[in-house]
Structure 1
Amino acid sequence: MSRGNNVVVFGAGAVGRGFIGELFSDAGWRVTFVDADPELVAVLRSGSYPHDTVASAGTVRKYVTGCTAVPAQDQAAVRRAVSEADAVFTSVGARNLPRVAPALAAGLADRAAVDGGPMDVYLAENLHEGAKLVRGLLSTELGTLGAEAATVLANVGVVECSIGRMIPVPTESQRREHPALVAVEPYRKLPFDVAACRAPVPDVPELLGNPELDFAFFTERKLYVHNQGHCATAYLGARAGHCEIAPAISDPDILEQVRAAMHAPARALARKYGQPQEELIAHAEDLLARFANTALHDTVERVGRDPERKLQPGERFLGALRLCNQWDDPRPLLPGIALGLEQQAAQGGGSAAVAAVLADVESISPGLAAALVELRGGSPRGTSQR
């Protein structure tokens, strides 16, 4: 592989192909995917794959070109690709980061051994404190290799990103049409933590770094406005009998509740970070319009799954509740939390799980737990009494 505008992308899934691969290919970069799926690796080695941008008005198909792939099982090939790359992205999910760390660390060590210059590893994971986790994994693996971890990592930036593009999991019919076909919404912005970079930022127009703004602003905006509003739409939609997000958010009653639940953290973030409130509100309104994209066919089941995780402290609901309690009105968040508890109860969550959430809510603001119990029909137990 020749040097110059080569990006290695760990994970050829929906985000890897649908977002990272497209942005870098469009900017003239060579894209090398690393994936464990033999069929996917084989088709990506052809050099291109179909990419659909879908909107309610129609679909635009293009082919992402200039790509190849190496199997994740071929550690030597992955190691070589990393050592020769100009940038690396991971898009594998938090659970799989320990699996990619050995080859990633080995490639970075090889690069350092020949004084290959600084390298940035971008995390397209939406993972809280992902940089800290990945630095720890790399340090451990470098020690195993006998490399001086501090020396290697001094030239490595671990850069968190905020993935805001909505990309549903490909359907069976899409996979039958082409194993690498991916469909995405038109939104293409990729905020990243520019302060963490060690190497020059890739010349990719959609990469957005603001050195004057704490990157926590972007991660909190994604989690507390986007993810929270999306999930609230799913829970309210499921209760109303909707199967997909677009018809759910088109229901006026649901739209009104979700808008209130998104505007509150938007106002809170504007106050916390000193940003223009009208821009945060406009961002929330843009998201509401994007949720209504009928061509995405995103399901309320997918968006709302795993309510137990989504009701953890600091997560989309309770994190937004704490933010709003400090900077705005937290009450618009309560309907989503109440319905999340119903979802959790329906999946076998008992009274202990409900009590834990109520305790968290009460610790955020005394009296809010009573309001949440009243909203749920007056029952603190694991099953709603509506």
Structure 2
Amino acid sequence: MKAIQFGAGNIGRGFIGALLSKAGYNVVFADVNKEIIDKINVDKKYTIHVMDVECEEIVVENISGVISINNEILEEIKEAEIITTAVGLVVLPRIAPTIARGIKLRKEAGIKTPLNIIACENAIKASSQLKAEVEKYLDEGEIVYLEEFVGFPDCSVDRIVPPVKSENILDVVVEKFHEWNVEEKAFKGTIPEIEGMNLADNLMAYIERKLFTLNTGHAITAYIGNLKGYNTIDESIADEKIYNIVKKAMTESGMGLVEKHKFDKEVHLKYIDKIIGRFKNPYLKDDVSRVGREPLRKLSENDRLIKPLMTARGFNLNVDNLLLGIGAALHYKNGEEPQSTKLQELIDEKGIKDAVAEIANINDNDLLERIEKAYTDILEV
């Protein structure tokens, strides 16, 4: 059995690639990083260091690597049963032409065994987005082939994998918790048995539960922590004032989920407690700069700050702490991060209200005024 993991970074190696290897697949990591790919092909294994209350080491084997922009990846796609990605949402359009060429070759070779492609990104319906990009490079007959033999199940993924340097560039540090929910009905052919892959029939509820809880709380912790001069998530959440805002913001977003998806309120509140407990893990040393990067994306209308706000507000729920989190995000300054620079340029040029209106697609003046106030109020925390 062969699986291809596009993206041989920390998440690709520390989460999805490891689950595929454990399930018995020969995992081919595809990446543009020659140093990483060469090391994979020399060592044929790496170690995952699980750093939590209980620590352990997991050796991942049965792996190889290819440069994702070289032609050899096409032969791997021809033979694969499953393709996963962990490249970042903005990179999906860049790998789409390669995946499309591989699908063309499968059709030309008369291959009728199913191929399932799962984009494991921090985004809503990333696999569907990847499918739309792939179809741009296929003709009508090839799209007919794709619809019959190639599945694009959407998923939600949840594991904190910080960029920790080790002596071996392949080794990865992760938390013990992980969750991978995949849309059951979208698979083509027999669904693969992969320990750690949960099949979901109401995937959007899982996607939004993760987005509105882990991603929302993580981002707000990072942005307020950055404002207060902290370097890591565990340092930030240890600050009682930050903890209180984050916990209340996660509860506000959570009540929106309870209303929208009819979650059990008490069960969801316990889930919030579990998630915020993960932020306290002292072993991960997760940088606020990593969690806070790409603020323009994180302030967009369908992402972790604005969507929970609009959902909760749509049910006439309190959103005061979500607003404070958004206010903190608007202060994010990191000279090494292009989106941070662009964000501050927009604010300098247009002011808070007009900048937010453009970034988040908000045209409600009352809400824009509340965000502007939160931008000032967060400085007093």
TM-score (norm 2): 0.88
Q: How does 1:11-90 map to 2 (within 5 A)?
A: 11-45=7-41, 46-55=43-52, 57=53, 59-75=55-71, 77-90=72-85
- Work out whether residues 30 and 66 of structure 2, in 8 Å CA contact, stay in contact via their aligned partners in 1: yes
Question: Structure 1 residue 157 and structure 2 residue 147: aligned?
Answer: no
Partner of 1:286: 274
What's the offset of the Cα at 1:288?
A: 0.5
2:265 corresponds, among 277, 283, 287, to: 277
Task: Look up the equivalent residue of 2:44 and give its one-letter code.
Answer: G
C-alpha separation in 1, matches of 2:245 and 2:171: 35
Q: Is the 8 A contact 2:7 2:87 kept in 1?
A: yes
Q: Distance in 2 between matches of 1:377 and 1:38?
A: 46
Q: Distance in 2 between the 1:82 and 1:325 partners?
A: 45
Name the CA shift for 1:292/1:9 in 2 (closer, same or farther; >3 Å): same
Partner residue of 2:324 out of 335, 343, 354: 335
TM-superposed deviation, 1:159: 1.7
**In 1: Cα distance, 2:60 partner to 2:102 partner:** 26
Aligned match for 1:306, one of 290, 294, 305: 294
Closer/same/farther in 2, CA of residues 357 and 287 from structure 1, 3 Å limit: farther
Greater Cα offset, 268-277 or 252-261: 268-277
Give the aligned residue type for 2:142. E
Question: Deviation at 1:86?
Answer: 1.5
Residues of 2 paired with 1:374 and 1:101: CA distance? 42
2:56 match: secondary structure: strand
Deviation at 1:351, TM superposition (A): 5.0
**Secondary structure of the equivalent of 1:209?**
strand
Deviation readout 1:137-178 (Å, 9 max, x if unpaired): 2222223xx95322233321112221210111233xx2xx11
1:97 maps to which of 86, 92, 99: 92
Q: Which residue of 1 aligns with 2:336?
A: none
Verify: 1:350 aligned to 2:348, yes or no. yes
Aligned pairs (5 A) from 1:1-386 = 5-45=1-41, 46-55=43-52, 57=53, 59-75=55-71, 77-112=72-107, 113-143=109-139, 148-171=142-165, 174=166, 177-211=167-201, 213=202, 215-327=203-315, 328-343=317-332, 347-348=344-345, 349-352=347-350, 354-356=352-354, 359=357, 367-377=366-376
Question: What is the aligned partner in structure 1 of residue 337 from structure 2?
Answer: none
- Matched letter for residue 195 of structure 1: K
Partners of 1:306 and 1:126 lie apart in 2 by: 12
Asked if the contact 2:156/2:207 (under 8 Å) is kept, the reply is yes
The one-letter amino acid of 2:175's match is E
Residue 311 of structure 1 contacts residue 357 of structure 1 at CA under 8 Å; is this kept in 2?
no
- Tell me the amino acid that sits aligned with residue 374 of structure 1: K
Structure 1: 5+ residue stretches without partners: none
For residues 301-335 of structure 1, what are the alpha-carbon distances to aligned partners after superposition, in whole Å with 9 as ceiling and x for unaligned? 22123323322222221111101112332222111
Which 10-residue stretch deviates more, 159-168 or 194-203? 194-203
Deviation at 1:293, TM superposition (A): 0.8
Contact 2:116/2:150 (<8 A) preserved: yes
Report if aligned partners of 1:54, 1:185 keep a CA contact under 8 Å in 2: yes
CA deviations over 1:105-135 (Å, ceiling 9, x no partner) = 2222333342332221001112334234322
Which residue identity lines up with residue 31 of structure 2 in the other structure? D
Shift of 1:269: 0.9
- Between 1:278-287 and 1:359-368, the stretch displaced more is 359-368
Q: What is the TM-score of this pair, normalised by structure 1?
A: 0.87
Identity %: 27
Distance of aligned partners of 1:366 and 1:281 in 2 relative to their CA distance in 1, 3 Å threshold: farther
Task: State the shift of 1:58 in Å.
Answer: 6.1
CA-CA distance at 1:22 after TM superposition: 1.1
CA contact (8 A) 2:326 2:375 kept: no
Which stretches in structure 2 are left out of the alignment for 5+ residues?
334-339
> 1:265 offset after TM fit, Å?
1.4
Cα deviation for residue 359 of structure 1 reads 4.6
Q: Which amino acid aligns with 2:50?
A: T
In the TM superposition, what is the alpha-carbon distance from 1:236 to its structure 2 partner?
A: 1.8
Deviation at 1:15? 1.3
Q: 1:174-203 CA distances to partner (integer Å, 9 max, x unpaired)?
A: 2xx112111111112201122221132221
- Alpha-carbon separation, structure 1, partners of 2:200 and 2:154: 13
Aligned pair count reads 368
Say which is worse superposed, 132-141 or 118-127, in terms of deviation.
132-141
SS at match of 2:305: helix
Q: CA RMSD in A?
A: 2.6
